[in-house]
Structure 1
């Protein structure tokens, strides 16, 4: 039985082949553990015996607990490694490239001992750089927490003091001595680091979980310094080689372009030739222009002479006399024709005037007929179009009169009455007669 209470206390049952005993480890001691207690794990526990109040039962109050043997630690290590690997913390895609020439290097290690001296010495030999040390414990119960906080602290720095690369280093030792770099908090801090991280824990044969989470593993702290910076002399030599290659390439390129330019220039025509051809064209054009001017001048002079010959006074007088005779003959032919045409139009006009006069309603009215209109101006064409009491206008050949239609009992007579009564108040008589 392994149980961690909400209070942080650890309750386990320790047993061997013959017996078992209940064990409790208080929170302050649990925090010092460098491993995670699990069922089936063989441990070495130290503490004092006590009894439960009112019960005849013993329990062990444990002060210290450690895995019993390297095999137990390796089993715990492999289990944690498998779990973190399943989460993807060791994936190659997470690895960040190490900068070629960092300006500032952050180192997480013990401030005393050979590790920091070896790193500084090798950096001075290869390429001196600015180094910021974050001192930590590299062994013991508090080492893992300090290393994790140091990695996170470097990542929190902003501005010019922010390192370009980190080195987490420790010298060699047993698996128990290096166990802090297998702790989960250290591995996660290394995997989450935004700054590229080089791990250098132990010797070349030692492997810890931080090596899988780091961006680059160095076999030793000295090797970490070598991977962090190039050799200054080698870099200067390489720059010199590259400079020589660049100069040689430029010289060869310029020479190649010079040869190509000369070859292209040889294919171009000479300047004198380029000028001579347009000059010849200009000379030929000038010759053609002079000839054309002479020809055009002669043609214009000939045309002018012909026009001037036609404009002589005697020629003009002959032309005027000829045109005058032609006009007189045309006038003599047109006068009789015009007179005949006018006479014909006059007769036709007289005939149309007589026909129009005969067809005019005034001629009809002059022969004794009357034209009847109602007061609204509508022409009355039949007796049935009038009603008793209608006011009408009678148009005679010599003027107009107004009348009112009176009622009648018999159909209108075919012969009109001899006189039309003037418009006015009708007389009350039964022997009125018919208007028409």
Structure 2
């Protein structure tokens, strides 16, 4: 920045001139004009710079997507800003306390009267800082359990389809294809990606997710095993395989994954989360498929062993059968004892049949003698005599029962006639009693009814709807009325309305004093 000219010293004994005494020829500037002039001066003077410092006051992306923090060293601090689109393209993201080398433009922010660096690229300050970053990320992911051995899956013995995530133009894919062709030719699907640069991590993660998204049995076959491979390089070249997005995509892969990044001495974070780590891409191909010639030889060996085992088993069974044949007796000897038992059973059966036949004959002769003594004709005659006797007894019994029933019927008829007379007399007596009670109740009703009150000179007043009017206050002027007397109704119209004055109290007749006087006596 240009230095301000020094003021000339004021003469001794004179007061210093006030600030506005610079002269009328100095142009007046607004605050915005001065701030923009300073902004142009700073940007023209410095342009692009590379600044090394430690990140501080980093709080993550702002809600707008921009990132604000500071770079500091032992003696100074510089405000820094990363615009949203630049932050999305950064390979190394800012972290609190990380020492970095930032490349960008020096500018000013008029709103705070401060200067700042607008960062375009960010990289760790040396291999030590990069290793510290990787070590911190490795510990954090390990604490989440992404590197646990229980999560690792076994590789299939002979996969049908092998998926490879690598650059299609490098020597890695040729080494893998050549090694698979030598050992056991398999179908290979290649997902082309960049294996270094800013987009490396996003492309590798998308490739792993894309292979896992293929449906089984679809038009594009789903791989049985995945190989993520890259040739050797520096730590910065292999940094894309240390990104968190790649590690998490490999951990979430449902397909067994083999990592083959760099040489045997190179180690990346994807190696910790992969189901199997191969030292080289060629080694990855060897671990995915067996050697076909070895399988053929091993199968032939097993076939020879199986044929020998079958022959030995047949010989052993043949020897065992011969031994058993020598231990067994001849067939004729086996039938002698059963034949003897059959002959003895036949003799016992014939004797039993003869004895049973003799018993049946003896029982039949005894039954014949009994039947001769009790012929059917004699039994029928005896039964006829018994039936005639029973008929005579039945006739006598019926005649006696009929005479007794006639006498009982006459007595029952006499009792029924007597009961009928008693019932008729009782019914007439009940009817007379109910009639007398009904007449008494009717007299009581006439005595208590309002018709008797009307006969004494009272009247009932109703409105045109037939509702009873009990007070004068219920009647409006000009209202049509219906007045009921003891001998009929008349129509009337009220000339005035309102509340009538209460009538003077009249002396109530004393009860029990005048038993014979008055127009109305006691009702009870």
Q: Same fold (TM over 0.5)?
A: yes
SS of 1:189's equivalent? Answer: helix
TM-score, normalised on structure 1?
0.65
1:252 deviates by 2.3
Match of 1:194 in 2: 254
1:284 deviates by 5.2
Counterpart CA distance in 2 for 1:147 and 1:293 is 101
Instruction: Work out whether 1:147 is the aligned partner of 2:207.
Output: no
Match 2:159 to one of 97, 102, 117: 102
Match 1:167 to one of 211, 227, 234: 227
1:295/1:79 CA distance change after superposition, 3 Å = closer
Match of 2:437 in 1: none
Match of 2:491 in 1: none
1:183/1:55 CA distance change after superposition, 3 Å = closer
Match of 1:53 in 2: 110
Counterpart CA distance in 1 for 2:74 and 2:353 is 138
Counterpart CA distance in 2 for 1:243 and 1:119 is 32
Q: Deviations over 1:159-214 (max 9, x none)?
A: 25111100000111111111111111111111111111111011111111111111
Decide whether the 8 Å contact of 2:258 with 2:274 is kept in 1. Answer: yes
1:193/1:295 CA distance change after superposition, 3 Å = closer
Q: Deviations over 1:53-89 (max 9, x none)?
A: 2665321111111000111111111221122112211
Instruction: Work out whether 1:29 is the aligned partner of 2:86.
Output: yes
Bigger radius of gyration among the two: 1
Instruction: Work out whether 1:123 is the aligned partner of 2:180.
Output: yes
SS of 1:76's equivalent? Answer: helix
Counterpart CA distance in 2 for 1:178 and 1:296 is 111
Moved more, 222-231 or 89-98: 89-98
Counterpart CA distance in 1 for 2:179 and 2:248 is 29
Higher relative contact order (CA 8 A, sep 6+): 1
User: Structure 1: 5+ residue runs without aligned partners?
Assistant: 312-374, 378-436
Counterpart CA distance in 1 for 2:322 and 2:146 is 63
1:22/1:288 CA distance change after superposition, 3 Å = closer
TM-score, normalised on structure 2?
0.55
Counterpart CA distance in 2 for 1:244 and 1:14 is 75
Q: Give the aligned length.
A: 313
User: Structure 2: 5+ residue runs without aligned partners?
Assistant: 1-56, 370-413, 417-524
1:296 deviates by 10
Decide whether the 8 Å contact of 2:93 with 2:122 is kept in 1. Answer: no
Match of 2:213 in 1: 156
Counterpart CA distance in 2 for 1:166 and 1:97 is 12
Instruction: Work out whether 1:2 is the aligned partner of 2:53.
Output: no
Instruction: Work out whether 1:134 is the aligned partner of 2:194.
Output: no
1:281 deviates by 3.8
Cα RMSD after superposing both structures? 3.2
1:13-28 matched pairs, under 5 angstroms: 13-28=70-85
SS of 2:272's equivalent? Answer: helix
1:291/1:87 CA distance change after superposition, 3 Å = closer
Q: Deviations over 1:313-351 (max 9, x none)?
A: xxxxxxxxxxxxxxxxxxxxxxxxxxxxxxxxxxxxxxx
